[in-house]
Structure 1
Amino acid sequence: MPQTKKSSIHYRSIFTRLFFGILAMVVGMMVTAGFFIGNQSDAMLHEKSRQQLSQAAHSTLAEASNRVHSIVVTLQSFASTYKNSKVSNSQVFGIFTDLAAQHPTISELQLATADGKYVTFPSSPIDAYDPRESEWYSQALALSQQPAYVSDVFQFSETEFPKIAVSVPLFTEDGDTAGVVVAFVSVPKLSEFIGTIKIGQTGYAMIVDQKGTLVAHPDKNYALQRPSLDQLPVVQEVMAEKSGIDLLTLDQADYLAAYQYEPWLRWGIIVTQGVSEVEREVELLQLTILTVSLIGLAALAVLLFGFVRKIVNPIKEVQQKMTAFSNGNLSLSMQVQTNDELRQLADSFNRMTGQIGSIISKIQHVISDVKQVAKHVEAGSRRSHDVQSEVVHVTEQLSHEMDEQQTQITEIHTHVNGITQEMNRITSLMQTAVGQNLESRQQTSSASDSIQQLQVEMVKISEDMRTSLLAVSAMKESMLDISDISGMILDISKRTKLLSLNARIEASRAGQAGLGFGVVADEIGLLSAQTETATSRIQQVIAEGEKRMEHVSHCMQTTDTATLEAIQTLQQATETFTNTVQISDTLTGQFQAIDQLSTHIHQHSQLILERVDALSASALEVIGGMQQAVASNQESLSYSQQFLHDSGKLTFIVEDLEQEIRFFQTTKTPSA
C-alpha cells in the first residue's frame, strides 16, 4: 500500500506538470503571436489608412485638375474657333450655353475683346467695368508656357459667391491679340464636388490655396467664410509647396491628413480621417483575434488533457518497475504495445536489467581477482614511495646548484651591462671629439685662407710702399731743382738790386733829366727786394719740405721693412695652420678608427650579452623544469601515499561490494 500511494502521487504530479507546462507554452506562444499580430494589424491598418488617404488626395487632386484641364481644353477649342472664323454674339452665347451645360462647376462665361467690350453668360457681374483691368485678363495675355491662367479666389462684389477665373487668350488670324475668354468656377459648386469625397465615416477633403486660405470644404457655409488656416502645420506644408502625410488637430480632435500640392493650380488638396475611427478598427480586429484565440485555447486544452493522459499511463508502469528495481529485483521485464519512445524506453529497461545482471555476475568473479591485485598494488606502492622519496632529495640538491649558477650568470650579465654602458659613453665622447675636431679643422682652414688673403694684401701694400718711395725720391729731386732755380732767382735779384743802385747813381748824375730814370731805378730796386724776400721764403719752404720728405721716406722705409717682416710671419703662420690641419686630419682618422673599434667592442658586448641572456633563459628553464620535477615528484609521492592508503580502502570496498551483490535477484521472471 505505501508503494502504491507513492506511485499515485508521483503520477498525478507528472501529469499536472506535463499538462500545465504544455498548456502554458501554448498559451505563451498564442499570447506572443496575438501580441505580434495585434501590433502588425495596428501597423497595417495605420499604413492602409495612410495609403488610402494618400490615394484619395492624389485622386481628388487629379480629378480637380482634370476638371480644370477639361475647362481649359474647351476654352482653347473656343479660342481656335474664334481665331479661324468670325463668331457672332449669338453664336458665342450658344457656345457658352453648351459649355455651361457640359461643366456644372462653371457659374459664368465671359468673352472680353481687346477694345474693352465683353459678352457674359448668363449675366454681367456688375453694371459696367473694364475687363482689361482685371488680373485674369492681363495674366492670360502674359502666358508663355502654361495653357491657361488660373486665378486665386475672388469676388466681383460682396453679394456674389466667390469664384475662380480660368482664362485663355484669343488671337486673330494674323496673330494679333483679340481678347480673352474666361470661365468662372463657382466655389460653392467646387465645395459640392469636394463634399462627394468620403473616407470612412469621419474622413473628408478640402482645398486650400498657396496663402493658406480655405477654397473648398464639404461645409459650404464654412467655405464661403474663406477662413485662413495658415496656423495649421499641414497647411504650412502646403504653403511650402510640399506633399506628404501628417497628424492634424481640428476642434480638439486628431485627424490623419494627407496633402498634395498642384503647382499649376496653386492649390493644395488635404484629405483627413479621424484617428479615433482608425483606432476603433484596430480594436475591433484585436477583439476578433482575442476571441478566436480563446476558443482555440479551450479546444486545445481538452485535446491536450487526453493526449497527456495517454502518454503518462506507460510512464506509471515504468515508475513501478523502477521501484521494484531499486529494491534489488532484477527479474522483472516491461511489455509495451506501442511503437514509440515508450516502447524504446521499455526495451532499453529490459536490456539494462539483463546487462546489469550479467555485470553483477562478472563483478562477483572479479572481486576475488581485485583482492589479489590490491595486495600486489599495496606492496608496489610501498616500494615506489621509497624510490620517489630518494628522487625528490636528489632533485632538490640539483635545483639548489642551478640556483647558484643562475646567481653567477646574473652577476656576469650585470658586469657585461656595465662594460656596454662604458663603451657607449666612450663612443659618445669619441663622436663628440670627432665633431669638435672637424669643427676645429674647418675653423683652421678658414683662418689659413684668411691669412693667405692677408699675405696677398700685405704684398700689395709693400709694392705700393716701394712705389711711394720712388715717388718721394722723384719729388725730392724736384725740390732740389726748385732750390737751384730759387738760387738763380736770388742771384738775379741781387744783380737787379745792384743795377738799380747804379741806375739811381746815374740818374742823380743826370740831374733833372734823370728823374724819370731814377723812379724806374727805385721800382726796380723795390721789385728786386720783393723778389729776394720771396726767394728766401721759397728756400725756407723747400728746406722744410725736404725735411718732411726725408721723414716720410724714413717712415715708408720702416713700414716697408715691417711689412716684409709681417709677410714672413704670415708665411710662418700659414705653414703652422697647414701643419695644424694635417694634424687635425690625422686625429680625425685616429678618432674614427677608435670609433670603429668601439663599435666592434659594443657589438661583441651585445653578442656576449645576448648569449648570457640565452644562457640565463636556459638556466631559468632548467630551474623551472627542476622545480616542476620537484613538484611532480612531491605530487607523485603524495599520490603514492594516497595510492597506498587507497589500496587498503579498496580491499575494504571489495569486501563491502561482495556483501551488496548478494542483495540482487538475478532470476528472470517476465511481467504480465
Structure 2
Amino acid sequence: MLRKKRNGNSSIHYRSIFTRLFFGTMAMVVGMMAIAAFFISSQSEAMLNEKTRQQLLDATNTAMQKASSRVHTIESALQSFGSSYKNSKLSNGQMFGILTDIVTANPTISEIQVAKTDGSYLTFPGSPLSSDYDPRKTDWFAGALEKKSTFVSDVFQFSQTEFPKIAVSLPLLNENEESVGVIVAFLSVPKLSEFIGEIRLGDTGYAMIVDRLGKLVAHPDKTYALKRPAMDQLSIVKDMLSGQAGFEQVTLQGAEYYGAYQFDSSLKWGMIVVQSVAEIKREVHTLQLTILAVSIVGIAALAALLYVFVRKIVTPVKEVQQKMSSFSKGELFQTMQVQTNDEIRQLADSFNSMSSQIRSIIGKIQHVIVDVKQVAHHVGNGSRHSHAMQSEVVAVSERLSQEMDQQQLQIEGIHTTMSGITAEISRITESMEAAVLQNHESRKQSVKASASIDALKENMQKISDDMKSSLHAMSAMKDSMVDIRDILHLISQISKRTKLLSFNARIEASRAGQAGLGFGVVADEIRQLSEQTEEATARIEQVIQSGESRMERVSDCLEITDQATISGIHTLHQATDIFQQTVRISEAITTQFETIRELSASIHVQSQSIQERVDTLSLSAQEVVSGTQQAVASNQESLSLSEQFLHDSERLAGIIEDLEQEIRFFRTEEKATA
C-alpha cells in the first residue's frame, strides 16, 4: 500500500525551482517597475500640464507687458510733443519732423494727427478725409479733453475702406494750462496683429487681443482679425472681461486649447495666449514612450543579471534534489556532500543523519516482523474456528426470532383491528344517542312551528277579510263621488244661469237709467257671486278628481294585497301539511335509532371482552419476543466481536506482509556491498 502511494506521487509534475524563482522575481520586479512607470507617467503628465499652465501665464503676462510698453512708449512720445508744444511755438515743419520721428520709432502707429479746438487739424502722414470731418466730434478728442490725460479709445474706422484703428490721444495745453487741442496717434489693427503674430509658444501656441466689448482686436491671422468676430460667448473671454486673470481649457474653431488670460483696464483690452491640447498630449505621449523604452531596456538587463544570479543559487539545490530522488528509491546508503556554508549545508548534514538512523531502525524492524507474523498466524486460526461456531448459533436464534416476530405482528394486527372496531362502535353509539336527542328536539320544534303556522294562517284569513271589506268601502266611496260630481254639475248650471240673469239685469238697469242704478249694483253682486261659485265648483271638481285617482290607486293596491294574502294562505296550508309529515317521519326514525342504540351497546360490551383477551395474549407474546431478541442480540454481539477479531488478525497479517515488502525495498549499505 505504501509502495502504491510512492508510485502514485511519481506522476506529479513539479516545476523547476529555477523557473519559479526566476519568473517569480521577474514578475515582482516587472510589477514594481510597471507601478513606478505608471506613477512617473502620471506625474510627468501632471508636471507637463503645470508647466504648460505656467508657460501660458508667463507668455500672457509678457505679451501684455510688451503691448502695454508699446502703448506707454507712444504715450511718452505724445507727452514729449505736448511739452514741446506748450513751451515753444512750433512751426509746421518742426511738427512734421517730430511726428516723423515718433512714427519711425513706433511702427505700430499708422498716422498722427494734431487737432485744435477750433476744428483745424494736421495729419502725418496725410490721408484723405471727408470734407465734413470734424475731430471735435470724435470720442478720442472729447475723451482726452475730459480726462485731461492719456485716453485710449475702442476700435473704430473712419470709413468702410480703411483698416480698423485704436486712438491714443493726449490733450495739448498752452502756457496757462488751458486745453488748446489734442494730439492723437492711431494704432493700426493689422500692424498690432503683426506684433501679436511674433508671440509664439511651441508649434500651435499664439496670442490674441480682445477688447472690452468681447470682440477680437489682434490675431496672428490678420484676415480673421479684420472681421472683428465677437468672442464674448466664450467662458474664457467672460472671465477676462470681468477683470479676472487665470488659466482654463477652451474650444476655438472646433479645436481644444489651453488658454491663459489677463485684462488691462487702462488699455481697455485683454490678452489671451493659447496652445493646442493635442500638442501638449503629444509631448506627454512622447515622454511616456521614452519612459516605456527605458523600462524595457532596464527589464532586459535585469533579466540577464537575474538569470546568472539565480542559476548560481539553484545549482546546489539541484544536487540536493538528485540525492533525495535516489533516497526515495530505497538507496539508504546515499550521502550528500555540499561545499557551501549555508542552509543547504545544514540540510545535507540533517539528511545524512536521518539516513543513518533509518537504516538502524529498519534492521530492528526486520527482526520483530518474524515473531509478529507467527503470533498473527495462530490468532487467525483460532478466530476462524470461533467465528464458524458463533455463526451457527446466530442463524438458529435469528430463525426463532423471525417466527416470534411474525406471531407478534399477527397478534398486534388482531389487537389493532379489535381496537378499531371498539372505537367505531363507541362512536356509532354516541352518534345514535346524539341523533335521538336531536330528533326529539326537532320534533318539538316542528310541533311549535306547526302551531305558529296555524296561528299565522288564521291571521292571514282575517287580513283577507279586512281587505275585502276595504274594497267594498272603496266601491261605495266611488259611488258617492259620482253623486257629488252630479251635484257639482247642477251647481255649475245654476251658476251659469245666475250669471246670465245678472247680465240681463245689468242690461235692464242700463235701460232704466238713473232709476236702475241700485238694481245694477245688485246685478253686479249676483255676477260676482256666480263667478265665485264657478271657481269653488272648479276647485271641488279638481279635489274630487285627485281623490278619485288616489282611491283608484288604493283600490289597486288592496286588490294586489288581497291576492298576495290568498296566495300566502295557500302556501301556509301546504307548509302545514309538510310539517305534519315531517313529524310523523321523525317519530318513526326515533324509534329505529333507539333500536340501533340498544344493538350497538350489546356489540360494544362483547368487543370489550374480546379486546381484553387479545391484550392478555399480546403481553405474553411480547415477553417471549423480548427474551428471544435479547438472545439474538447477545449472539450477534458475540458474532460481531468474533468477526472483528478475525478481521483484525487478517489485517495484522496483511500489515506484516506489506511491511516486509516495504523493508525489502530499502537497500542498506551492508546489503549493497554484499
- TM-score, with structure 2 as normaliser: 0.49
- TM-score, with structure 1 as normaliser: 0.49
